[in-house]
């Protein structure tokens, strides 16, 4: 058990813990997306980061709604996975002198973030469904669809321009 966490003994405990994890992760993403948008040299990538920042702010509000619906206080727990993904991204990006290579690195890092979020939201939906919380599952499903769409958009931008320009 983590130093400051409580035991996870039930599916409900796991649901709440995972909700706290994604809440923390989404807030870390909000802190990092403006930097990535500023650093992006590709206009379409810059716009995608800016758009996803707005989406992520709405996703945080949805997670807060799920906490409230489930009768839990809104709070996060440190997400070591997201911290690691973001730290690795910062290291790689700082090593890229060429702006076009930096764009490719940032895009790849953003997709790693999206893939993590997709797995977490998928799990949360499954837990909410099992716990008889279709209200929570519906809110989480909205976010999952947005995360999948963001990942597809990044894949399209990578194939269309960013990776080619990084050659």
Three-class SS of 98-146: CHHHHHHHHHHHHHHHHHHHHHHHHHHHHHHHHCCCHHHHHHHHHHHHH
CB 97 within 8 A of CB 148: no
Boundaries of domain holding 96: 11-160
Residue 67 lies inside a defined structural domain of this protein = yes
Model confidence, pTM? 0.93
Measured distance CA(161)–CA(86) in Å, rounded? 23
State pLDDT tens for residues 3-49: 556 789 999 999 999 999 999 999 999 999 999 999 999 999 999 99
DSSP for residue 7: P
Return the pLDDT at 56: 97
Residue 53 lies inside a defined structural domain of this protein = yes
Measured distance CA(79)–CA(153) in Å, rounded? 25
Measured distance CA(49)–CA(36) in Å, rounded? 7
Q: How far is CA 134 from CA 58, 66, 124, 164, in A?
A: 20, 11, 11, 43
**Residue 1 — pLDDT band, cuts 50, 70, 90?**
very low
Asked if the model's pLDDT at residue 131 lies above 60, the reply is: yes
DSSP for residue 148: H
User: The domain that contains 141 carries what CATH number?
Assistant: 1.20.1260.10
Residue 29 lies inside a defined structural domain of this protein = yes
Closest CA to 65 of 147, 127, 148, 133: 133
Our count of domains for the chain comes to 1
């Amino acid at each position: 058990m983590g130093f400051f966490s409580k035991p996870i003994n039930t599916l409900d405990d796991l649901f709440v813990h995972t909700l706290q994890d994604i809440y923390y992760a989404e807030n870390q993403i909000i802190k990092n997306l403006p930097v990535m948008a500023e650093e992006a040299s590709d206009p379409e990538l810059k716009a995608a980061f800016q758009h996803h920042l707005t989406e992520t702010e709405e996703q945080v509000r949805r997670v807060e709604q799920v906490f409230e619906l489930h009768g839990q206080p809104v709070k996060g727990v440190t997400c070591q996975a997201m911290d690691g993904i973001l730290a690795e991204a910062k290291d790689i990006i700082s090593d890229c002198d060429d702006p076009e290579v930096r764009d490719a690195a940032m895009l790849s890092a953003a997709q790693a973030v999206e893939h993590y979020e997709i797995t977490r939201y998928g799990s949360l939906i499954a837990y909410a469904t099992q716990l008889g919380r279709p209200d929570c599952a519906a809110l989480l499903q909205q976010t999952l669809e947005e995360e999948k769409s963001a990942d597809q958009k990044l894949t399209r931008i990578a194939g269309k321009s960013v990776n080619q320009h990084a050659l």
